[in-house]
A and B are shown apart, each in its own frame.
Chain A
Amino acid sequence: DAGITQSPRHKVTETGTPVTLRCHQTENHRYMYWYRQDPGHGLRLIHYSYGVKDTDKGEVSDGYSVSRSKTEDFLLTLESATSSQTSVYFCAISESRGSSGNTDTQYFGPGTRLTVL
């Protein structure tokens, strides 16, 4: 199993409060991702990182920011949580791209269930 942990695993917060979710990997993989999972939508990419301090937006990035100051840690921040951000958040990692440029498999962390009241 890929060494990926997420913290916290569960969180309940109130609308308007800031929230930070942490993803930690022990695999030294270059690429890290944050997804949210909602009924009827599958998983949708929020942000991803292709190296330390290198990040980019996914399809549902509004209201979220990320930071990656170390290879092993990728933080997701909700600056001012809203009820629409109630979801299960998954972190994923993948290895470097490889010489042939192929997309490598993403491996997922255990998820964080966030409830915004």
Chain B
Amino acid sequence: AQKVTQAQTEISVVEKEDVTLDCVYETRDTTYYLFWYKQPPSGELVFLIRRNSFDEQNEISGRYSWNFQKSTSSFNFTITASQVVDSAVYFCALSGGSGTYKYIFGTGTRLKVLA
């Protein structure tokens, strides 16, 4: 069975602090995909990144970076120098690559960035 765990329910940081959101996954598939989505207070779901299981390179996009480690089944998300606009709920999701299009979502981490 596939599972995604986001153990941090809520995190509060002060603006300009760095923050890491954890995502741990379980799957028996050898090919799979991992995703992060952002849900700001306005409620829409915004796609941030997709990573496949064969690509363990870390990725950086501006202040955002992602650390994928198959050895620990983790796909963590770091925001550097956080800003108030980063306040949102962040979801990690997993999809198997062998004929399924179903995403399994974690329960989300609410990030509050205080000015």
List residues of chain A with CB under 8 Å of any chain B CB.
Answer: 31, 33, 40-45, 48, 50, 58-59, 88, 90, 94, 97, 101-108, 110-111
List residues of chain B with CB under 8 Å of any chain A CB.
Answer: 4, 33, 35, 37, 43-45, 47, 50, 52, 91, 93, 95-97, 99-103, 105-108
How many A-B contacts are there with CB distance less than 8 Å?
Answer: 55
Within the complex, the shortest CB–CB distance from B37 to chain A, in Å, comes to: 8
How far apart sit A111 and B42, CA to CA, in the bound complex (Å)?
10
Do B96 and A110 touch (CB < 8 A)? no
Closest to A101 in B: B97
Q: Hey, which chain B residues are within 8 Å of A59, CB to CB?
A: 102
Among B47, B99, B103: residue with most chain A CB under 10 A: B103
Do A90 and B45 touch (CB < 8 A)? yes
Closest to A113 in B: B43
Contact A107/B47 with A31-B101, A41-B107 known, Cβ cut-off 8 Å: yes
Do B105 and A108 touch (CB < 8 A)? no
Closest to B45 in A: A108
Q: Hey, which chain A residues are within 8 Å of B105, CB to CB?
A: 42-44
How far apart sit A33 and B107, CA to CA, in the bound complex (Å)?
18
Closest to A45 in B: B102
How far apart sit A88 and B45, CA to CA, in the bound complex (Å)?
12
Within the complex, the shortest CB–CB distance from A31 to chain B, in Å, comes to: 6
Within the complex, the shortest CB–CB distance from B23 to chain A, in Å, comes to: 12
Q: Hey, which chain B residues are within 8 Å of A103, CB to CB?
A: 33, 95-97, 100-101
How far apart sit A33 and B105, CA to CA, in the bound complex (Å)?
14
Q: Hey, which chain B residues are within 8 Å of A90, CB to CB?
A: 45
Seed contacts A42-B91, A103-B33; 15 additional CB < 8 Å A-B pairs: A41-B107, A42-B105, A42-B107, A43-B93, A43-B103, A45-B102, A45-B103, A102-B33, A102-B52, A103-B97, A104-B101, A105-B50, A106-B47, A110-B44, A111-B44
